Amino acid sequence: MARIFFRDDDDGSRKNFGMSIARTVKWDTAMLRKNDHDGQSTSTASILVVDDAAVTRDLAATILRRRGYNIFTAADGEECLKVVSDFYPDAIVTDLEMPNVDGQELIEAIRGSDDRILRVIPIVVCSSRADALTVAEVRCCGADAFLSKPLDARELASTVERLLV
């Protein structure tokens, strides 16, 4: 099965990061698998932004890119699960309401994974559904933080920074 991963560059353009055929993808992401998971810090963390709304995904990516993070994107939870099967981002910022695999299912899949490194990746949920019940459910599933939409740049950046310490 062919898969293409994209990395958003500093200039806002989307660059082809890696392509299909498992060996190529594994090679392209090998450096990320080792990225800061041995307890040593690295200069730039990788953040996976997951949202089905391109405008919101691009906004979150831009906010975090300006803070110096390497940004990767996925359009829904299903795509996110494929991406995290090939590399470990340092954090995941995800929407809650998405097609295929929604944010809550995504969190449950990651937290229930047999992969102990994947299970501890910080997850930030950003959603317009910010009622107390939704926030409680998401936190019970294993989200590390919940931010309401519309996104506040400072709040998003400070939340990700706090979780990466």
How far is 81 from 15, CA to CA, in rounded Å? 20
Structure confidence at residue 36 (pLDDT):
40
Tens of pLDDT, residues 106-123: 999 999 999 999 999 999
> In the chain, how many domains are there?
1
Place of tokens 């295929």: 100
Q: Which residues have a Cβ under 8 Å from the Cβ of 144 and sit 6 or more positions away?
A: 122, 123, 124, 163
Alpha carbon distance, N-terminus to C-terminus of the chain:
37
CATH number at residue 99: 3.40.50.2300
Pair of tokens at residue 72: 């990767």
Pairing mode, strands 145-148 and 123-127: parallel
How far is 158 from 165, CA to CA, in rounded Å? 11
The model's pTM is: 0.76
Asked if residues 102 and 125 have their Cβ atoms less than 8 Å apart, the reply is no
- Residues (pLDDT < 70) of the chain are 1-43
Structure confidence at residue 11 (pLDDT):
59
Domain with 112, as residue range(s), is 4-164
Tens of pLDDT, residues 86-101: 899 999 999 999 999 9
